[in-house]
Amino acid sequence: MRQSGVGVAAGNTDRAACGSAFIDARGALRDLNLQFLGLLATPANWIGGGCAGLSSDVLERLASLSDSQRSAAARCPYALFDVRLDDDRHWRCALEAVDAWRIADEPCLATAREDAASPSAARSSASGAADRLMQLLLFYAWTVAGSAHPVERALLGMSNVTASLLRDTPLHRLPAVAAREAPHLAARWNGRRRFWLALIGAAGAADDAALRHVQLLGLQLAAAARLP
């Protein structure tokens, strides 16, 4: 069997083998983080001075990083993006909405995005960058949902109920779901300005010790979110 994401198209029966191959691929989450940081570092995606819930000063510092410095920031062992995987009610509604579109002969997805869009994501969604990234993020989340390892779900901030919902979602529905959810793409812990400034500062200074400290802080935040 080919060990690639393409192999999943053979059906949900191949999810375990193909999903594990994708998840275990070296740097998969890092690469998604890097693409997300690249989206944030592009001024054309900023609306009203902000983007993905981050303030203009945080975004400006992120944009000032070199490619290698941004790559260092992306090496966190957890997702730096947030697609509300902790909110199972949101995902239940999102998946039901996609079903409703299909039943209604799939009205224009651009209209659906306009209805759901927030000002902070409108320009990036319109450019298509957020849409493309969201498809990759959602496929990764879909494969993680099929994993038997709860740690991987925790690193994405995914609840057990959301994991169950995604496991029951056929692969062919993911693009429509991604189109609907792109406007909700946000920075993880975007209310914690000090975390983001510390991450950007450590990456910019090429300070490995400081980067490890920030990575540990993120792991603590991810773990705390799982507590009842």
Closest residue by Cα to residue 38 from 71, 7, 12: 71
- pLDDT in the model for residue 27: 74
> Between 180 and 1, where is the model more confident?
180
118-170 pLDDT tens trace: 444 444 444 588 889 999 999 999 999 988 678 888 899 999 999 999 999 99
> Residue 25 carries which DSSP code?
S
Q: Tell me, what's the pLDDT at 193?
A: 94
Summarised one tens digit per residue, pLDDT across range 63-96 is 999 999 999 999 999 999 999 999 999 999 999 8
Average pLDDT, the chain: 80
Cα dihedral 16→96→101→85 (10° resolution): -60
3-state secondary structure string across 92-128? HHHHHHHHHHHHCCCCCHHHHHHHHCCHHHHHHHHHC
Q: What is the mean pLDDT of residues 92-106?
A: 68
pLDDT of amino acid 211: 96
Between CA 5 and CA 166 the distance in angstroms is 16
Can you give the pLDDT at residue 1? 37
Range scoring the smallest mean pLDDT among 10-14, 49-53, 60-64, 206-210: 10-14
Distance of CA 152 to the CA centre of its chain: 13
Q: Rounded to an integer, what distance in angstroms lies between the CA atom of residue 100 and that of residue 104?
A: 6
> What would you report as the CA-atom Rg of the chain, rounded to the nearest whole angstrom?
17
Q: Is 204 exposed, middle or buried (0-12, 13-18, 19+ CB in 10 A)?
A: middle
Which residues are within 8 A (CB) of 223 and not within 5 positions of it... i.e. 6 or more apart?
154
pLDDT for the residue numbered 226: 76
Q: Following DSSP, what letter does each residue of 143-196 receive, concatenated? A: HHHT-S-HHHHHHHT--HHHHHHHHTS-GGGHHHHHHHHGGG-EETTTT-HHHH
Mean pLDDT value of segment 17-30: 58
- Per-residue pLDDT reduced to its tens digit, 176-221: 999 889 888 999 999 999 999 999 999 999 999 999 999 999 999 9
- Provide, rounded to the nearest whole percent, the portion of the chain with pLDDT above 70: 73
CA atoms within 13 A on the CB side of 193: 8
Assess whether pLDDT exceeds 90 at residue 34: yes
Asked if 172 and 106 count as a contact pair (C-beta separation under 8 A), the reply is no
Between 52 and 213, whose confidence is greater?
213
CA quadruple 14, 178, 59, 226: dihedral positive or negative?
A: negative
Residue 101 confidence (pLDDT) above 70: no
Q: State the pLDDT confidence band at 228, using cuts at 50, 70 and 90.
A: low
